[in-house]
Chains A and B, each alone.
Chain A
Amino acid sequence: MKCHIIAEDSKVLAKENKILLMGTPNVGKSVFFSALTNVHVISSNYTGTTVSYMEGTYQVGETQYTLIDVPGTYSLAATSVAEEVAIRFMCSNPVAVLFVLNAADLEGSIKLALEVMEYNIPIVFALNLMDVSERKGFAINVKLLEQELGAPVIPTIAVKGKGLDEITKTFAQLLGGERPALSERSCSSCSGCAGCGVTAGNDGLEYWERARQIVRKVVSRTDAQPNFLDRLGDALLRPWPGLPLALLILLVSLGIVVGGGKALRAVLLLPLVNQGIVPFFERVITPLNLPPVLHNILIGNYGVLRISFEWILALVMPYVLLFQVQFALLEDSGVLPRIAVMFDSLMRKLGVQGGSLIHIFLGFGCAVPAIIGTRTATTHKERLMVTAMVCFAIPCISQTGALISLLSAYSVGLLLATALTGAVIFVTVALVLGKFLKGNVDPLILEVPNLLIPEPRAYFKKLWVRIKQFLVEAEGPMLIAVFIAAIIAETGILAGLAELLKPVVSGWLGLPEGAVMSLILGIIRREMSVAPLLSLNLNPLQMYVGAVVSLLYLPCLSVFGIIAKEFNARTAVVITVCTTFTALLVGGLMNHLVLFVQSIF
């Protein structure tokens, strides 16, 4: 009999020597994974950070194992994609499981552990979040817990690296002796698992009962009083003072990103580029007496060596850097799920649920992780709605940075007007899709994590990973955009295109002909649709129209790719056509509306 009906013939599933890293959501599995494998994965303080599995090499003694970071689940009942992934791995003959228990929420953890133990795979328990557990006044008898679970239990504080060596030592002992033969764990000796649908009629209640009994035996309460973080965590969940506090936190974050970015650009990066880097290249290239076209492509107005520094280094980088610094703090502290809870009623009226806010916040960084993150959504309609909302009206941080430079140079009011236009479109898209898309959106069910002070080690590691990711993934397309800009501007192609698109760009949108560059480069990356506007000496209305068009304009190539991958090519094309049409429609309408109002007064 073939037991594992949902087992897939994928390379990872077929790998020998797998150790699975499992546990309930938001228990710190990814922190263990990063520390044990030196593969850096992103961890955050909310459920569902890891929506797919990750694999890395884990050295135990002389042997190399493949450690797999399985997405966190609350049960092994195959009720969600994450649970199906977990079951598939459990059924793929792993040599052992590293199960991470949450010391601050032992009952739910043990319940899942009992389910995992049904599979008869050697298991080691890490009792993580010991610091939070102590803070909350729990004293856990680890020896007794080991007896109850019948497997080694190691207390850990993973973000501080405590207890990690102990885990590797325990695995060395556990796996060092004779390896349990594969046949021992085959289907013939298995009493049934969720993988083959044989769960002995257990709907999980028995596991909960047993978990409760174990917790009663091993946990005692100390007289620890709730500390400042607990009280702040609670306060952030109450409308008063939680709502003003949340708004304050978001405003301060925005202030740091916008103010800090502007300062960094004005004080450090612009002088560096305009007085240092570009003049240097001019001095190097001019004496070479190159043909004029080549000279211009290198260092002309749209020359590669000029705009790659002006746009990428001075325009995009300061904002991206500060956004990541700030957003990682928000993610690791556990503030985001609290905001999601408080704004659930508002999001509900828009047709989605509070949990979607976390994806939308991610979208302010980049739409790609936001769209991948929507995998945690329980219905297709919710996924599609959030994806469309992000694609239409949420600017990524690179684009935000460029928009700030364009608009706030003239006035903050212009920036606010653009933001307001974006918000109106955001709400409209949500309401229209909510009404016309088939299916339904499930109500909010969200575990609220403990409020934590981000651990510097994990925090800086994450920051580094994110910035490296940006440099690797965004730099290429940005440079391609810069090259295209240089070539079409300096070879006369731009002038031809400008003539062709004149009725749209100048007639309908009221922008100068040169703005056609924005529409071309915007296909590649969103901030590249703003950057060319900076040097066109636009009037305030043109700035606003240009900003609105670029904000609503089509998602960049990477986003197109990820929508095609996560949904299908048709969805990607439909979203692209709709956003482009909306951008041109709204931009033109606003242009004519303002001109009309101006003509009256």
Chain B
Amino acid sequence: MKQMHRRQGRHRNHRNHSLYTAPDNCRYKVAAVPDVKILNSLGFYPGTVIHKKKQYRLGGPVLICRATREIALGKDIASAILVEEDSTL
């Protein structure tokens, strides 16, 4: 619950964008994940901090780092993940 409040608090200050359109090479905090179980299994929850490394052109995937795990997410799934800038640096 505490986390939810924190998230909503930040919500006012920061614009949410989809992981797909968010700029490369930045750290983000996940704001919302679609209901795809494998994303939870890989550790994507609201509040998870991820590093977007790269977005491939021409409808390619997004390459992200979650803790020490490097994961490629296809365009459709990356578009459905909402992120906000991470200000906890």
Contact = CB atoms under 8 A, between A and B. Distances in A.
Nearest to B80: A443
Interface string A504-544: 00000000000000000000000000000000000000000
Contacts of B38: 74, 79-80, 378, 445
A4 B75 CA distance: 38
Interface size for chain B: under 10, 10 to 19, 20 to 34, or 35 or more residues? Answer: 20 to 34
Q: Is the interface of B mostly helix, strand, loop or mixed?
A: mixed
Contacts of B68: 104-108, 136, 138
Contacts of A341: 56, 60-61, 63, 72
Contacts of B42: 74, 108, 445, 447
Contacts of B60: 341-342, 344-345, 348
Interface residues of A, number: 40
A162 interface: no
Interface in B59-80: 59-61, 63, 67-78
Nearest to B75: A443
A108 B69 CA distance: 8
Contact of A445 (B39, B48, B54, B56): B39
A562 interface: no
B41 A344 contact: no
A345 B72 contact: no
B36 to A, nearest CB: 8
B58 interface: yes
B6 to A, nearest CB: 14
Contact of A105 (B58, B69, B72, B78): B69
A444 B73 contact: yes
Nearest to A344: B61
B15 interface: no
A446 interface: yes
Contacts of A378: 38
Which of B43, B58, B76 counts the most A-chain CB atoms under 10 A from its CB? B43
Nearest to B37: A79
A237 interface: yes
B37 A77 contact: yes
A239 interface: yes
A75 interface: yes
B21 interface: no
Interface string A342-371: 101100110001100000000000000000
B61 A108 contact: no
Interface in A91-113: 104-108, 111
A77 B40 contact: yes
B74 A348 contact: yes
Contacts of B73: 443-445
B57 interface: yes
A208 interface: yes
A448 interface: yes
Contact of A239 (B43, B56, B59, B74): B56
Q: Which among B41, B43, B61, B69 has the greatest number of chain A C-beta atoms within 10 A?
A: B41
A442 B39 CA distance: 12
A78 to B, nearest CB: 9
Contacts of A345: 56-61, 75
Contact of B77 (A79, A105, A349, A443): A443
B37 A448 contact: no
20 contacts: A73-B41, A77-B37, A77-B41, A79-B37, A79-B38, A107-B68, A108-B42, A136-B68, A204-B41, A205-B40, A205-B45, A208-B45, A212-B67, A215-B67, A341-B56, A342-B56, A342-B60, A344-B61, A348-B60, A443-B73
Interface of A: 73-75, 77, 79-80, 104-108, 111, 136, 138, 203-205, 208, 212, 215, 237-239, 340-342, 344-345, 348-349, 353-354, 378, 442-448
Given A74-B42, A108-B42, 13 more contacts: A105-B69, A108-B69, A111-B43, A205-B40, A212-B67, A342-B60, A348-B60, A349-B59, A442-B77, A443-B75, A444-B61, A444-B73, A447-B70
